[in-house]
Amino acid sequence: GAGVSQSPSNKVTEKGKDVELRCDPISGHTALYWYRQSLGQGLEFLIYFQGNSAPDKSGLPSDRFSAERTGGSVSTLTIQRTQQEDSAVYLCASTLIWGRETQYFGPGTRLLVL
Amino acid sequence: AQTVTQSQPEMSVQEAETVTLSCTYDTSESDYYLFWYKQPPSRQMILVIRQEAYKQQNATENRFSVNFQKAAKSFSLKISDSQLGDAAMYFCAYERGSNYKLTFGKGTLLTVNP
C-alpha cells in the first residue's frame, strides 16, 4: 500500500460503549506502533508490535485498552467501556523492521466520547 | 526518563522568510535519533528530517535543516524560504537507539503569513 491507513477517520461514541480502531500498515512493514494524542497529555506511546507479538504493553493507560495484530499486518486497538478521558486522536505508525527505523504515521482516528 | 522540550508554543513567519524552531532534550544515552515531524490540519504526521546522534554533520532536506548541538542537547529546525504549505504543528521527537518508542515534545504551531 501507499501508506499507513487507519479507520474510521472519526468516531463518536457514548460513554460506556466499546470501540475498535483499525490500522493497516505499509505493506511489508513488520513493526507497528500505536500512539495517543490528546490535549492534556500530548503524544503518548501506547504499544508496539513486532510481527504479531506485543513485547511492550506498558504504555496502555488501563486494562480497558487492548490491541492485537493478526497475520503480521492489520492491527486493532480496542477500548472497552469508553470514558470521556479516552477522547483523543489515536495514531498508528509502522516501520520496515524493529529499531533504528523512521516511523511512518497514518492519518489517525479522532475518537470523541460523549 | 527522556524528555523533549519545545519552548515555543507558537511561531509565525512571513512567506519567503526564515524561521527557527527550538527543541531541547534530556538523555543519558549516547546512541539515539532525533526527528522533526510536521502535522498539518489533516492530522497526518509527516517526517521532515532525521538526525542520528553519532553523526556530527547536521541533516538537511531541501529548505529544512537542523542545528544539532549534542553537548548542549539542542536540536533546532530551520525552515528557509517559508511557504504557505509549511504552516502546521511541528513536533520534535527522540528515539533511543535500538528502541521503538518515540518521545515527543509538546509541539510548536507555525503560522506562515502571506
Lowest mean pLDDT among A57-61, A104-108, B10-14: A57-61
Binned at pLDDT 50, 70 and 90, residue B20 comes out as very high
Mean pLDDT computed over every residue of chain A: 92
Given a cut of 60, whether residue A1 has pLDDT beyond it is: no
Per residue in A30-81, pLDDT (tens digit) is 899 999 999 877 899 999 998 899 888 889 999 999 999 988 899 999 999 9
User: Please, what sign has the CA dihedral across residues B24, B90, A91, A30?
Assistant: negative
* Assigned C-alpha cell, A103: 516511523
What average pLDDT does the segment B17-23 reach?
98
- The span from the CA of B53 to the CA of A64, in Å, is 37
Chain B interface, Cβ < 8 Å to A? 33, 35, 37, 42-47, 50, 91, 97-107
Binned at pLDDT 50, 70 and 90, residue B58 comes out as very high
The strand pairing partners of B110, in sequence order, are: B11, B88
The half-sphere exposure of B17 on its side-chain side, counting CA atoms within 13 A, is 13
| A-interface mutation test, from B31, B43, B55, most A Cβ less than 10 A away | B43
Percent of chain B residues topping a pLDDT of 70: 97
**CB within 8 Å of A35: residues ≥ 6 apart:** A43, A44, A45, A46, A90, A91, A92, A93, B102
- Tell me which residue of B62, B64, B82, B80 sits closest to B15, measured CA to CA: B82
Print burial letters for A37-60: b (CB count within 10 Å at least 16), e (below 16). beeeebbbbbbbbbeeebeeeebb
| B-interface mutation test, from A4, A100, A111, A112, most B Cβ less than 10 A away | A100
pLDDT at A57: 85
Residue B45 to chain A, least CA–CA distance (Å): 6
